[in-house]
Amino acid sequence: MSADPHPWAADLAELHAQVWTRFTRGVRDRRAAARHPTLATVTPEGLPQARTVVLRAAERGAGSLKFHTDIHSAKVTELRATPFAALHVWDSAAHLQIRMEGEVTILTGEDVAAIWARVPASARLAYGSTPAPGQPIADGLSYTKTPDPTAFCVLRLRIVAMDIVHLGTDHRRARFTRTDNWAGQWLAP
């Protein structure tokens, strides 16, 4: 009988710590699963939307995550109407489904000038598009990208709850909430 590869999954505190280990790795490692979560939002019409985002910061102490985006993208419009998001990661190496729920703050201008200053020139091309992202164009390449600091914004997700599923030999599921100081509660999977 081989040793359990994920002993942390059987303990609430260790499971919670493992989630932050994965997110911290996602900030630094392009190949980590948590590098590219799926961010779900609600449109002004009340319908769901989901898209890939790139994880830029993970702060366990504050319980928050950060993402960069173009202020003219649809997700910013959606988050202005409903400033809540769900975030999803399936980490196949850890057999872990990570689901986050939280409040989103949209940071712009002076509040993000220091972050913009550290964005590499090549990456700045992702912020500033003519026409704006999502606008119809005649041909697939009928657009230009020009770095525009006024198009750059940071989404800060303040996590209020996490729903974690570990699909090991046994399946375990737990919910961690900010109001419970992340102590955690086992749930039926």
Q: Distance (Å, rounded) from C-alpha 185 to C-alpha 176?
A: 6
Give, as one character, the DSSP assignment of residue 80: H
Q: Distance (Å, rounded) from C-alpha 165 to C-alpha 7?
A: 14
> Taking CB under 8 A as the rule, does residue 186 contact a copy of itself?
yes
Q: Which is nearer to a copy of itself, 61 or 136 (CB)?
A: 136
Stretch that binds a copy of itself, among 21-29, 59-67, 95-103, 146-154 (CB under 8 A): 95-103
φ, ψ dihedrals at 114, nearest 5°: -70, -35
CB of 86 to a copy of itself, least distance (A): 4
Residues 6+ apart with CB under 8 A from 141: none
Do 26 and 33 form a contact (C-beta atoms < 8 A)?
A: yes
Q: Which is nearer to a copy of itself, 61 or 140 (CB)?
A: 140
By CB under 8 A, name the one of 90, 105, 106, 107 that touches a copy of itself.
90
CB of 143 to a copy of itself, least distance (A): 4
Q: Distance (Å, rounded) from C-alpha 90 to C-alpha 152?
A: 28
> Taking CB under 8 A as the rule, does residue 180 contact a copy of itself?
no
Give, as one character, the DSSP assignment of residue 73: S
> Taking CB under 8 A as the rule, does residue 76 contact a copy of itself?
no
Q: Which is nearer to a copy of itself, 52 or 117 (CB)?
A: 52
Q: Which of residues 128-157 bind a copy of itself (CB under 8 A)?
A: 129-143
